[in-house]
Amino acid sequence: MQPFHIIVCGSIVPDPLQTLEPVTGPSGPALKNEMMLPAVLDPWAAHALFEAANLAKKVPGSKVWLVSLGPKAKLQQVMMTIAQKVPFEFVGLDAPAGGFTEAYDVAASLAEAIRTIPGLDRSRLLVFGGWESASRGACVTMQMVGERLGITDQFHGVDELSVAADGSLQVLERIEGGRHQVSVCDGPPALLGWATGSLPEPPNNPQIGMANMRAIMPALQRAKPVKLAGEGLNFSAVSLPSQRRETKIVKDLPAGEIAREIVEWIRS
């Protein structure tokens, strides 16, 4: 079986355990004290990275790249942790990575970075990424990356990937109605937007971390500054969702009556 070249696109997001407060800054919407918030690799992208490493381990000779866009200081902070999970080669882009960036500009930057990776064989190319994102659930960034790279075989909401002896790909993909669809692709190039997958988070491995960081630190120094134009993008306001709580305590009320009252409350 021919080895794969697997590109994983993954951004960084504020730690979901933090309280996020939107504010309007001089350049538009932002998060309060954003640069002070601890960051993590986007959870959907992390699933994609772990699946990529698992596939590369099963198919000898395969190689994994992680292409990540974000502020250089935050990228370094996150890579110190994620580098201990699985082996990969890092490609960084120094740019804003908040929830107020335009997916079109992000996709264009990621696609250009992928094109410039030395030695990349498009006939063996698999592009992985998150189906959604913890910063903004646009669900279009990976699709536009694939379009810019000329990849028409795309699968989104992927939970499982298996490779047959002839190199064909069998993809378990989420569809409407809580069901799955099984698709077969002849082989690369292909793009997969991962949902949750089925793999646990790999344990930390200091040896993998040290090997990765020897290449990640120089890659961070070479991270290309990217200006995300966001032309035509405008936010009229940003705010936290309003909270509403109305409590009613009753006894011995039938389930149907409870459901009726809940529906009436939502409608009101």
Phi, psi of 122 (to 5 degrees): -65, -25
Euclidean distance between CA atoms 118 and 127, whole angstroms: 16
Q: Could you tell me how far CA 153 lies from the centroid of its own chain? A: 19
Q: What's the CATH number for 5-225? A: 3.40.50.620
DSSP per position, 50-85: HHHHHHHHHSTT-EEEEEEEE-HHHHHHHHHHHTTT
With beta carbons less than 8 A apart as the criterion, state whether 122 and 189 touch.
Answer: yes
Peptide bond into 189 cis (omega under 30): yes
Q: Is 165 exposed, middle or buried (0-12, 13-18, 19+ CB in 10 A)?
A: exposed
What's the predicted TM-score (pTM) here?
Answer: 0.80
Q: How far apart are the first and last CA of the chain?
A: 60
pLDDT reported for residue 95: 83
With beta carbons less than 8 A apart as the criterion, state whether 206 and 84 touch.
Answer: yes
Q: Which residues pair with 185 in a beta bridge?
A: 169
pLDDT reported for residue 126: 94
Euclidean distance between CA atoms 114 and 92, whole angstroms: 11
Question: Above 70 in pLDDT, residue 236?
Answer: no
pLDDT reported for residue 65: 94
Domain residues of the chain, as ranges?
A: 5-225
What integer best gives the mean pLDDT of the chain? Answer: 85
**32-80 pLDDT, tens digit each:** 777 777 788 888 889 999 999 999 999 999 999 999 988 888 888 888 8
Euclidean distance between CA atoms 133 and 12, whole angstroms: 10
**142-191 pLDDT, tens digit each:** 899 999 999 999 998 889 999 998 889 999 988 888 888 999 999 889 99
Question: Above 70 in pLDDT, residue 131?
Answer: yes
Lookup: tokens for 118: 């030395």
Euclidean distance between CA atoms 147 and 72, whole angstroms: 27
